[in-house]
Amino acid sequence: MSSLMIEAEGLTKSYGSTKALAGIDLQVPAGAILGALGPNGAGKTTALRILTTLSHPDAGWARVAGHDVVKEAAAVQRNIGVTAQDATVDEILTGRQNLVMIGRLSGLRRGEAKARAAGLLGQFDLTDAADRMLKEYSGGMRRRLDLAAGLVTRPPVLFLDEPTTGLDPASRLRMWNVIRELVAGGVTLLLTTQYLDEADELADRIVVIDHGHVIAEGTPAELKTQTGGARLEVTLTEANPAASEALEPFASGPVHLSQDGRRLRAPVRTGGGLASTVVRALDAAGITVDDVEVHQPSLDDVFFALTGRPAELAGDHGDHDLEVARS
Amino acid sequence: MTATTLPVLRPAPARGLAQRFADVLVLTGRNIVHIAREPLQLSDVTIQPVLFTLLFVYVFGSGVVLPGGGSYTDFAIAGLLALNLTTSAMGTAVGLSNDLNSGVIDRFRTLPMWKAAVLVGRSLADLSTAALCTLIVALTGLVIGWRPHASVLAVIGGFALFLLFAYALSWGCGCLGIVSKGPESAQGVGLVILFPLAIVSNGLVPTQRMPAVLRFIADWNPVSAVTAAARHLFGNPNPSATFSAWPMQHPVEASLLWSVALLLIFAPLATFLYRRRTTG
């Protein structure tokens, strides 16, 4: 078995005339977290459905834990845990009954399944709600149970499809902590998200997916430097026409001056000690400084640089991927 | 979460034949819990049979004279078993359609389980509700004066024929549930098929005075065969016994043949349709 736990090459998938995946390659080494980032309809969910054996690719191949997702689906299923975007748990059963059922269907004996369910309910703070029907769970509780459901067999590979979409900020932070602890335990994880801060926060590597293509790939830091540097903002004690000239050596583009002449903004290449170098240069020119800020680019900036559209708006043109994938 | 409970990484064990039975058992249990918690579905096999039995026996019973004589109550119980079991077979279509339209089916599909257990577990859960329905009709019948006049073994045989037929029919309804868009349309189409099937039969009225076309249909209707077989085995009035149509002359054999034929057609068809709907 190769050290790649998730591997895909040239995956394509169309629904009617809609090309959901236009040839995607993925590699995730054992123990790594890959964040698949993209707007609604980019093809993330379609890729995830193929990797979790729910859907067959039109072309290309994928292996998970060393097994082909089409030809060896059962072997793949023994190695994966899945938390899909909509709840894939049984509304009519209680939380405990859900986990025991999933354990039994995964091949655990009754006693094992019960013990595992009790353990997971405790881990996810659901012990009090364990014997209530899922219907009565809040969105956050349901999401936690869904994640627990994916962990019943302690699978080596986990797939999480937008694990925090629709959660309130507190539940979201809590989910992040749960995911971090899982990964500390050695799980290989593929996570899809529309939230740029989430990918930045959790993933070792990120692939940016748009219109069924991988349009960029790298560590969060690499992506940021690859798609534009940082932004320097300087506030002067009082306006000084010499300030623009003093900043020019650092700038990688035009220096922008505010109307009152006190604030200057310029794109810069990030480098160690940039802020102190800037302050020293301004000081040498006899200019006094109130404030210096170096803004690292957010993944929002990255997405904009890559696609020419802000990520939030990108979803407007294509929800069809998810709709079709579920029908 | 605490550090002591971090996952130990291991793939789930490979599965044998025994595990298939375990999968079926687990899903049968899950479906029974569903039926018990869905008041509407449960009333189909508890309250409705009592109501139907009382209504038909007292309302129809006062107006129907059996050719060859005998009590309408004795005549009607087999017919009421047929009516209730046939219409409640719709539960399979509705239940399966509900599952297919919910996220839980995707969960099942990513588990290393026997995929057909979804269908077999459904059919067995519905068989258990059919048994409950049978028990309730029989008990209601006994309370209002129905009496079998045959050996215990023959009476049990009559019930068994009904349950076999209900089981076969539920696979047909399973196919309907798989191809329909949602539970409502499954129920709608199911009613259009099952209600005439139950009514154009010898179940509730003797067919002697039916128009020729209807009587032909009734004579060859599987519901008539199983009803006539049960009447024969219960030792209850069976006016169809005088007809020359083969199934009415040999109702036990006919009902067995019908049930086996339905199973042989619909069980593989349901498996095929299910696989087709859940692959892609």
- The answer to whether residue A119 neighbours chain B at the CB level (below 8 Å) is yes
CB contact under 8 A, A90 and B10: no
Beta strands, E only, B76-227 = none
Average pLDDT over residues A100-107: 94
CB contact under 8 A, B38 and A92: yes
Are residues B134 and B177 in contact, defined by beta-carbon separation less than 8 angstroms?
A: no
Question: What is the identity of the amino acid at B189?
Answer: V
CB contact under 8 A, A178 and B1: yes
- The answer to whether residue B34 neighbours chain A at the CB level (below 8 Å) is yes
Mean pLDDT, chain B, integer: 91
Q: Which long-range contacts (CB under 8 A, 24 or more apart) does A252-261 make?
A: A261/A236
Residue A246: Cβ within 10 Å count: 20
Q: Please give the helix or strand (H or E) that residue A70 lies within, else none.
A: none
Q: Read off the tokens for B7.
A: 């996952």
pLDDT, residue B7, reads: 47
- Name the nearest CA neighbour of A293 among A310, A311, A308, A278: A278
Are residues A148 and A123 in contact, defined by beta-carbon separation less than 8 angstroms?
A: yes
The tens digit of pLDDT for each residue in B207-223 reads 988 999 999 999 999 99
Quote the minimal CA–CA distance from A119 to chain B in Å: 8
SS3 (DSSP) at A217:
strand
Mean pLDDT, chain A, integer: 85
The tens digit of pLDDT for each residue in A109-124 reads 999 999 999 999 998 8
User: How many A-B residue pairs are in contact by the CB < 8 A criterion?
Assistant: 117
Average pLDDT over residues A232-253: 86
- Name the nearest CA neighbour of B56 among B198, B210, B170: B198
Residue B258: CB partners within 8 Å, gap ≥ 6? B165, B168, B222, B225, B226, B247
Predicted confidence (pLDDT) at residue B82 exceeds the cutoff of 80 = yes
Are residues A81 and A155 in contact, defined by beta-carbon separation less than 8 angstroms?
A: yes
Helix pair angle (A110-123, A95-105), 10° resolution: 130
- The answer to whether residue B36 neighbours chain A at the CB level (below 8 Å) is no
The tens digit of pLDDT for each residue in B19-45 reads 899 999 999 999 999 999 988 778 888
Residue A310: CB partners within 8 Å, gap ≥ 6? A300, A303, A304
Confidence band for A311, pLDDT divided at 50, 70 and 90:
low
pTM for this model (two decimals): 0.83
Predicted confidence (pLDDT) at residue A73 exceeds the cutoff of 90 = yes
pLDDT, residue A136, reads: 93
Quote the minimal CA–CA distance from B279 to chain A in Å: 6
> What is the C-alpha to C-alpha distance for residues B123 and B106, in angstroms, rounded to an integer?
20
CB contact under 8 A, A53 and B110: yes
pLDDT, residue B10, reads: 57
Q: Parallel, antiparallel, or unpaired for β A33-37 and A205-210?
A: parallel
SS3 (DSSP) at A37:
strand
pLDDT, residue A325, reads: 38
- The answer to whether residue B7 neighbours chain A at the CB level (below 8 Å) is yes
For every residue of B118-136, DSSP letters joined together read HHHHHHHHHHHHHHHHHHH
Quote the minimal CA–CA distance from B12 to chain A in Å: 5
Predicted confidence (pLDDT) at residue A166 exceeds the cutoff of 60 = yes
User: Looking at beta carbons, which residues of chain B come within 8 Å of A72?
Assistant: none
CB contact under 8 A, A105 and B14: no
The tens digit of pLDDT for each residue in B243-263 reads 999 999 999 999 999 999 999
Between positions 33 and 92 of A, the ones with CB within 8 A of B are: 52-56, 65, 74-75, 77-80, 82, 84, 86-92
SS3 (DSSP) at B205:
coil
For residue A219, report the phi and psi dihedrals to the nearest 5 degrees.
-75, 160
